[in-house]
Amino acid sequence: MMEEKALLEIEDLNLSFDTYGGEIRAIRGVNLSLRKGEILGLVGESGSGKSTLAKAIIGVLPKQNTRIKKGRIWYKGLNLAGEKERVLRRVRGRGISMIFQDPMTSLNPTMTVGNQIMEAVKTHQKLPSTEAKEKVLRLLQRVGIKDASLRMKQYPHQFSGGMRQRAMIAIALACKPDILLADEPTTALDVTVQAQIIELLKDIQKENGMSIIFISHDLGVIANVADRVAVMYAGKIVEIGASTDIFYHSKHPYSWGLLSATPSLETTGDVLYTIPGTPPNLQLPIQGDAFAPRNKYAMKIDQIKQPPMFRVSDTHFAATWLLHPEAPAVDAPKEIRMRGKQAESKRRFENMGDEKIRHTDKVMLEVSHLKKSFSNGGSLLHAVDDLSLKLYQGETFGLVGESGCGKSTLGRTIMGLYKASGGTIRLEDQSMGTHYGKQMKREFHQKVQMIFQDPYSSLDPHLMIGQIVAEGIILNDLAKNKKDLEQQVAELLTTVGLDPNFAWRYPYELSGGQRQRVGIARALAVQPELIIADEPISALDVSIQAQIVNLLKKLQKERGLTLLFIAHDLSMVKYISDRIGVMYAGKIVELAQADDLYHCPLHPYTEALISAIPQADPLREQHKKRLIFQPDRQKTGAASKKRLRQIIPGHFVSCDESEVSVLKDKYERLTQSKIRG
């Protein structure tokens, strides 16, 4: 049964779902243990079985079509895989709790947050109402929610995303569980809020001696939080080891692929690594190693026989035939071997600026004193506040900042989706003013297109892919006849890496990455000169993110496109961008070349953002110091005197005139310290 030191033990778990299309073998022979007081990271692409495994542990998978075909889940002498619902209800909350990716869909919108936590408390503890209320208050305070007595009376929609996730953590901790299952708990959050939630979970875990299974596709987050890491692929654990084993000495080609596709702040070059192909269809029988069709190191045996778990060390195991004594010697990719070596980052800094920026001196888009305000209960919310910006032909301009800073509002206002409150927008030599007439809007949208964050909600589910891509062509009379239209659609789908036959499919038949490619094809259909990409990769797996970024860079190079790339993944923004603007409270507070901004951040808000970036390097994560931005400290003079001022050529910071010399000295110190290493 259970090892003495294991709090949770999963033995040869096989689980499937019955669907109209056939049986889906979602979990295929998983063996996994969780020790008391450890944090186990669980990583892998969408569909690998991470969330299904967590839900199987706690018994919340749909009963009507879930079948546990084989295996056991041991917890304190109970086999959770075979227990009745009444037993599982006692285990949930008190023994094992779970928090989910999207707290908005997990919280009841009709109940106050306090009552929802109260419900969790009373389910497992018989406490008087006064005592239960006091416990709810203490829980809210413990998870870092200020004004807890007021907040407990509010509803989920009155909370920010970070506060809702804190409330979910309070519910999960209500009965001090032994185990917390955290399913992508920070994926939907900004980098700074993400860092706060991770620190909160780590602090609570240390206080309570709790064990955590932390599921994420963000390897930087896993490097920060996990003691051990398990890599899942096609319903199996393919590698498991200490965090340093996986990040510095991984042995499975799939682990190499995930790590190589994750850009660090030092990543340069024209093309990010991507894992070829797609995961297997788990409705079909799998012969041999499920990863073999995507594995460039695959041997004949991989096609025939499933590899066992080979022992690398006492803490490290991997299921790959490359570890067989008779297998040819294969080294991990260079980028894996170089992880953790500080010399690499020093070399990168010394070469900073060697690559020429691709753009010309021609201004493609100029935004002058742009304003966009929203009514907010009698007051005005200045989402974009007197913002000026130039985009040059052929450049990629990255725009970063936390949720609510105005990034997406700026993009949508430029597109004319929002009516500007003031200022001007000039495209090349044509002034658009702040109000677009019908004809002007049509001409503008032929030159400027937008790619949206959620490729599913931005595609009409009732139209076939070909119809979606053809809309812009038809609207702008860009096709001579039906045959020409069909040919253009086929060429566009091919350009973005899709089979032309996808034209006859519907959006629901495509994966997230494929849908985003359709969104790009739709944007390209009218032959635009500028594309505004609003969080185009945030909903995608790391390897799919790399594919989309590679595609955008390729298209930009081939077509001379100008790209406004809005995102909260700061590592990816740094990789793709020529210049970067940092937004805070509706204004750009710092603007510089990408390498310059990341190596020599001058504004305190930029410093805080960069310090919060999770990197796929456990030793760096262990020793890094996170900075906290205190906006009140920046009010050293009249607000009207703060504006973007040039500190060195090409590097601008929002500051008073009196601060320029101080910031120049700061830049010089940062430059010298980086060169010295």
The most confident of the ranges 154-168, 367-381, 535-549, 595-609 is 595-609
Mean pLDDT in residue range 535-546: 84
pLDDT digits (tens, 9 = 90+) for 588-602: 999 999 999 999 999
pLDDT for 640: 58
In a domain, 368, yes or no: yes
pLDDT digits (tens, 9 = 90+) for 53-99: 999 999 999 999 999 999 999 999 999 998 899 999 889 988 999 99
Residue 622 has pLDDT above 50, yes or no: yes
**Burial annotation 47-86 (CB, 10 A radius, 16+ → b, else e):** bbbbbbbbbbbbbebeeeebebeebbbbbeebebbebeee
Mean pLDDT in residue range 3-7: 71
In a domain, 556, yes or no: yes
State the total domains in the chain.
1
pLDDT for 440: 77
Question: In which region does residue 374 sit, left (phi positive, over 0), alpha (psi from -120 to 50) or beta (all else)?
Answer: beta
Residue identified by tokens 């080979």 is 310
pLDDT for 632: 57
pLDDT digits (tens, 9 = 90+) for 207-251: 989 999 999 988 999 999 999 999 999 999 999 999 999 999 999
φ, ψ for residue 6, nearest 5 deg: -90, 125
pLDDT digits (tens, 9 = 90+) for 431-467: 776 556 677 778 888 899 999 877 778 899 999 999 9
Residue 332: pLDDT band (50, 70, 90) is confident
| Percentages of the chain per state (helix, strand, coil), in multiples of 5 | 40, 25, 40
Cβ-contact 231, 205 below 8 angstroms: no
Please give the helix or strand (H or E) that residue 636 lies within, else none: none
Residue 651: pLDDT band (50, 70, 90) is very high
Residue 192: pLDDT band (50, 70, 90) is confident
In a domain, 370, yes or no: yes
Q: Residue 509 and residue 368: Cα distance in Å, rounded?
A: 43
pLDDT digits (tens, 9 = 90+) for 555-601: 999 999 999 999 887 888 999 999 999 999 999 999 999 999 999 99
pLDDT for 271: 83
Mean pLDDT in residue range 25-52: 95
Residue 377 has pLDDT above 90, yes or no: no
pLDDT digits (tens, 9 = 90+) for 101-138: 777 778 999 999 999 999 988 887 888 889 999 999 99
Mean pLDDT of the chain: 89
In a domain, 399, yes or no: yes
Q: Residue 191 and residue 216: Cα distance in Å, rounded?
A: 14
In a domain, 467, yes or no: yes
Residue 339 has pLDDT above 70, yes or no: no
Residue 618 has pLDDT above 80, yes or no: yes
In a domain, 222, yes or no: no
Residue 360 has pLDDT above 80, yes or no: no
Mean pLDDT in residue range 3-16: 88
Rounded to 10°, the helix 129-142/161-173 angle is 130
Least confident of 7-11, 19-23, 334-338: 334-338
Selection from 450, 458, 426, 427 nearest residue 524 by Cα: 450
> Cβ–Cβ contacts within 10 Å for residue 480, how many?
10
pLDDT digits (tens, 9 = 90+) for 393-436: 999 999 999 888 899 999 999 998 899 999 999 998 787 765 56
Instruction: Provide the domain limits for residue 505.
Output: 363-600
- Token readout for 663 is 């910031």
Residue 333 has pLDDT above 60, yes or no: yes
In a domain, 267, yes or no: no
Q: In three state form, how does the secondary structure of 38-51 look?
A: CEEEEECCCCCCHH
pLDDT for 433: 60
Residue 542 has pLDDT above 60, yes or no: yes
In a domain, 526, yes or no: yes
Q: Look up the CATH number of the domain holding residue 514.
A: 3.40.50.300
